[in-house]
Amino acid sequence: MDDRKHYLTTEKRRELELELEHLQNVKRLEVLGVLEFAKSLGDLSENAEYHQAREEQRKLEERIYTIQNVLKSATTVFPNKTDRVDIGSSVTVRKEGDKKDKIYQIVGSEESDMKQGKISHRSPIGAALIGCKKGESVTFKTPAGSVTYKIILIK
């Protein structure tokens, strides 16, 4: 698996496509309107509204460019029925010494969100789980020390 490549689930790809559409068709027009108004206020050299609008425009165009590049270069991953953990898999694990299971979805870096249980394939736990089978245990390093998880289920 190429570590430099972008991976997106179908849900995240659609989310980015919708965001891009909104930024290009709605937000861009809003920012242009603010810029035009700020220009109408006169002297641009000391026009705080104009400079703020230009900065907002720069950030907007940067976000559009970033999304376009991610969508262009990303590989869409589909959940597959496999006996090994891969990007797109939902994995139920149990930490050594714990009785409670945790469920993580392995995703590309662009959509990792620990609060939602979505972990990057590049994170220590994600990288350790990739390629493993049900019943295997994996140990990986964290800032607090080594942690071992047993794989209970792969979906």
pLDDT at 92 (0 to 100): 97
Q: Are strands 90-95 and 75-77 parallel, antiparallel or unpaired?
A: unpaired
| pTM (two decimals) | 0.76
Phi, psi of 94, rounded to the nearest 5 degrees: -130, 125
Residue 25, CA distances (Å) to 30, 51, 107 in order: 9, 22, 29
CA distance 122 to 112: 10
Kindly list the structural domains of the chain, giving each domain's residue range(s) and its CATH number in brackets, ordered by start: 7-76 (1.10.287.180), 79-154 (3.10.50.30)
95-151 pLDDT, tens digit each: 999 999 999 999 998 899 999 999 999 999 999 999 999 999 999 998 889 999 999
CA distance 150 to 26: 47
> Considering Cα of 93, then 98, then 102, then 107, what sign does the dihedral take?
negative
Contact 74, 8 (CB under 8 A): yes
How much is the mean pLDDT over the chain? 92
Top pLDDT among 133 and 79 is at: 133
Phi, psi of 4, rounded to the nearest 5 degrees: -90, -15
